[in-house]
A and B are shown apart, each in its own frame.
Chain A
Amino acid sequence: MTAQKLEEPIRRLEVPRLDALEKALGETKYTTDNVEEDALYVRVVRSPHPHALIRRIDSSRAERVPGVVRIATARDIPGSNYIGYVVQDRPLLCHDKVRFVGDSVALVIADTSESAELGVQEVKVDYEELPAVFDPGEALKPGAPKIHPGGNLTARHFVRLGDAEEGLVRADFVVRGTYSTPIQEQAYLETEAALAYPKSDSMVVLGSMQNPFMVKKAMATVLGRAVPNVRIIQAPTGGGFGGKQDAPDEVCSMAALAAWLTKRPALLAFSREESAAFHPKRHPMIFDREMGVSSDGKITAVRASILADGGAYASLSERVLFVAVTTAAGPYEIPNVHIDGTTVYTNNVPMGAFRGFGKPQASFAAELQMDEAAERLGMDPAEFRLRNILKAGSTAPTGQVLTSSVGLEECLVRARADSAWDAKRRTGPGQGEKKRGIGMACTIHPEGLNGEADAATASVEITAVGQVVVKTGLTEYGQGIHTGFVHIVSKVLGTSPDRVSVVMPDTDVVPDSGPTVASRSTVFGGKAILLAAEKLRGKLAKVASEMLSCPPEVIVFEGDTARCQGRDDGRVGFEELVSECFRRKLNLKEEGTFVKPLPFWEAGHGDLSPSYTFAVHVAEVEVDTETGKVEVVNYTAAHESGTVISRDQFESQIIGGVAQGLGYALMEELILKDGIIRNKTFLDYHIPTAADVPHIRTIIVEAPDDFGPFGAKGVGEAGIEPVAAAVGNAVYNALGFPIRRFPFTPERVYEAIEERASRS
């Protein structure tokens, strides 16, 4: 190691996002922008039934539609038909039965998308309808229609700490409630798309995705031995938010199957309705929750059971449930915890990964109940939280002693001050029809893949002309992660950021860095890159030390030069130094790997991650009691994510997350009736417009720990996690009673006010 201290935080660099200008000019080529004339168009025949046996598929009429080249069914799949992230329970094309409205049955491959669409209408599928089940509670009852051979239970998880029964008995009072959360649709602006090119012995697919190496695995499964090599290239991707975690496995595999069968390039691009019908969404969950509190404001116990509707296929339900269960007690010191969670199959659209991954749901139940307890105590909710909040050294409700940095308290204190919390709580809701309210919520976010081992590999290479090239499988889909990697490398090597570039992920070119999910890219990818760059710096320092005649330990890299610390005379330019290395035939390519070992988790307690991030949000609302309309008028988001690599992008992630969270809190709810989605388009599934987003004040609390690069932690998800809860508590404060389900649409809020009035 050189003497140069690298642990100091990187301050706001004037590096704009690498891809911003190109995107602003309209030059960026997303998947469907690359279609060439000879490409075929693929459309999917989908099930109109939530649960039915397939008796026969008759494609003879469809085959005669002008322009239709071929129809593909499960029988045409050369490898295995079954794929899936956790459990391989999802057929690429259903052959014996369908399990939700929108399930894929056949592909129509045609010269134009119009012909393909006509072909879809002519594929006749003979179904025998089966009884279906849409309610997760019903699905577990004996005699419920069995959706998968093994029954309808997808997974269970639990947390056990201390003795919850005893803790509840010892409490001075217990608050109880049932809380439920809606289905949220990712609604990325770019729908799923994949373009497959057949080559003589391989298949190349360009697509919109988060995880090229997962797609590769799925495609290799589907194509089997028929295609020895598959190569996946991530196209610029128009949003993901978790929705493009596993859905692209199928979309890309379908395009590849079409290309393999026809020996021509094939494009599969979903319409907005298909996108809504197809990809896994945010789980709706029901929490039955009770919390014991002592009269001095300490939480004595939490007991909860969680029921999640996972829809027709497993997707990531089991993982999402684990996260919900392990964060359900909230970021508080609670000696006695008893949480049980169950996720089940139903004949609804599948649920899976969505930014926050179980935490927005868990936080809603926990944080609303915190305010209910505070009311019973007659204590300010901020004060009540402060009495119980996790600090460095605390034991988390999962039993883990937190040894890394915990900036939660500072987040709370600063959010409270900056939002003028105390004054506003004192002023109260006011007398008129429009009531004001202010509410708070906290979140805890374990770093990396939850309860799993995690690892990332990346490489950094310096070319003969002094360009630095970073290769990683971690994908950019709007987070700005590649720009973050440039910051890290240029800091380590002391070069200007424009020297550094990041290769677009291509499975033939970049190493597998694990999935781009769970806010793990900065921490895991960033650290792998940092390690690789440090190895390179070590090599460069050795050569520089000989050129400058001072020991390698005192070589300092900055401003595209290397010099000896404390000496002003000699310095060598970065390019000259690199040329010298090349003259000496030194290999300037290094790999770095960062590993998080398998955390200890047994019998319902253990470690989730070596490091956690935290946030405290404060929402201020105005509720029109005549109409039920809730308007968020002010918002404060305080986040602790270790050291901040780029302040601009950090704030952008938070603001974007809060905006999505406000949609979740106020207007977004996918409505299913007998398995049919009623609101698939933006006309009836509303997401926030510019007019719906209030001023958002961001507060950055820096509490570096030694886990991620330069002490950084992840930030991608935390922004959305406490939003529904903060808004819920603000509505509670305005109305004087909690509404335990959301979104807080005018109808729901109005009904709650009416019901309350009729009861009293």
Chain B
Amino acid sequence: MRKVRVSFTLNGLKKTDEVEPNQTLCDYLHDVAGTTSVKKGCDTGECGACTVLLDDMPVTSCLVLAPQVEGRDVVTVEGLGTKLVPNPVQQAFVEHDAVQCGYCIPGMIVTLSWVREHVPRASDAEIKRLMSGNLCRCTGYLQQIEALKAAIKG
């Protein structure tokens, strides 16, 4: 198949690349672009491990094709914080023991960072609904919800 040229922003940096037309954004980000935080738990849009922000909306990147990001803005968890300056949700996850095996964590933090920014007044029930697209098999979610609430309070 002929490769397609795409130009987009990845974690704040402009990027142009040749991609397979049928490659998912998840595979492209993980296998080609080096943003290995983008995890694959199902490849069918059900687990949320591959969640990234596309034009500031959380999406499951395994349901997006790489060429579709032309001209758009993609943020993975690598773009949200660093060791010296973790974002408040990342910091709160550490402090609330919200991380176990870690496999769901990048996607979960992308979603919850978005919730913190856009729905800071969400009720517990709303928070649970907003994070229900991100599965975690280890933690039982409760510490993650506590962490988010702490991060919102700041």
Interface residues of A (CB under 8 A from B): 16-17, 19-21, 23-30, 32-33, 35, 186-191, 236-241, 271-272, 477-480, 648-649, 651-652, 655-660, 681-683, 687-691, 693, 695-696
Quick one: which of B47, B132, B137 has the most chain A CB within 10 A?
B137
Contact call A690/B145, Cβ cutoff below 8 A: yes
Contacting pair B77 A21 (CB below 8 A): no
Pair count A-B, CB < 8 A: 167
B145/A190 in contact, CB under 8 A:
no
Q: Is B149 an interface residue (CB 8 A)?
A: no
Asked, given contacts A658-B140, A690-B141, whether A189 binds B46 with beta carbons under 8 Å apart, the answer is no
CB of A272 within 8 A of CB of B41, answer: yes
Residue of B nearest to A662 (CB): B140
Contact A659 B140 (CB under 8 A): yes
The 9 residue pairs across chains A and B that have the minimum distance between CB atoms: A26-B37, A238-B103, A478-B101, A659-B140, A23-B102, A478-B100, A682-B46, A689-B132, A26-B77
Complex alpha-carbon distance, A570 and B140, angstroms: 49
A479 & B43 in contact (Cβ 8 Å cutoff) = no
Enumerate chain B interface residues (CB-CB to A < 8 A). Answer: 30-31, 35-37, 39-44, 46-47, 49, 76-78, 81-83, 86, 90-91, 93-95, 97, 99-106, 109, 125, 127-129, 131-145
A21 to B93 Cα, complex, angstroms: 8
Contact status A480-B100, CB under 8 Å: yes
Residue among B42, B76, B106, B132 facing the most chain A CB atoms (10 A cut-off): B42
Chain A residues closer than 8 Å to B100, beta-carbon distance = 239, 478-480, 652, 656
**What chain A residues lie within 8 Å of B135 (beta carbons)?**
189, 682, 687, 689
In the bound complex, do residue B93 and residue A20 qualify as a contact, i.e. CB atoms below 8 Å apart? Answer: yes
Give Cα A186 to B101, complex, Å: 14
B residues within 8 A CB of A21?
83, 86, 90, 94
Q: Are B128 and A33 in contact (CB under 8 A)?
A: no
Can you pick out 25 interface pairs between chain A and chain B where the beta carbons lie within 8 Å of each other?
A16-B97, A17-B99, A21-B90, A24-B102, A25-B77, A25-B81, A27-B83, A188-B137, A190-B103, A239-B137, A272-B41, A652-B139, A655-B140, A655-B142, A655-B143, A659-B140, A660-B140, A681-B42, A681-B46, A682-B135, A687-B135, A689-B141, A690-B132, A690-B144, A693-B140
Give min CB distance, B106 to chain A, whole Å. Answer: 4
Nearest-CB distance from B39 to chain A (Å)? 7
Say whether A189 contacts B145, CB under 8 Å. no
Interface SS of chain A: helix, strand, loop or mixed?
loop
- Within the complex, what minimum Cβ distance (angstroms) separates A433 from chain B? 22
Given A21-B86, A33-B36, A683-B44, residue A28 in contact with residue B31 (CB < 8 A): no
Alpha-carbon distance A690/B133, docked complex (angstroms): 9
Cβ-defined partner of A30 (8 Å) among B83, B103, B140, B144: B103
Question: Across the interface, which residues of B come within 8 angstroms of A690, CB to CB?
Answer: 127-128, 131-132, 134, 136, 141, 144-145
B146 to chain A, nearest CB (A): 11
Q: Which residues of the partner chain A approach B101 to less than 8 Å between Cβ atoms?
A: 188-190, 236-240, 477-478
A189 touches B94 (CB 8 A): no
Interfacial chain A residues near B125, Cβ < 8 Å: 691
A16-B94, A28-B102, A189-B49 known; A696-B77 Cβ under 8 A: no
* In the complex, chain B residues whose CB is within 8 Å of the CB of A29: 36
- With beta carbons under 8 angstroms apart, the residue of B39, B43, B49, B145 that contacts A271 is B43
Asked whether, in the complex, the Cβ of B76 is within 8 Å of the Cβ of A660, the reply is: no
Q: What is the minimal beta-carbon distance from B129 to any residue of chain A, in angstroms?
A: 6
**Chain A nearest CB: distance from B151 CB in Å?**
11
Chain B residues, Cβ within 8 Å of A688: 140
Whether A189 lies near B47 (C-beta < 8 A) is: yes
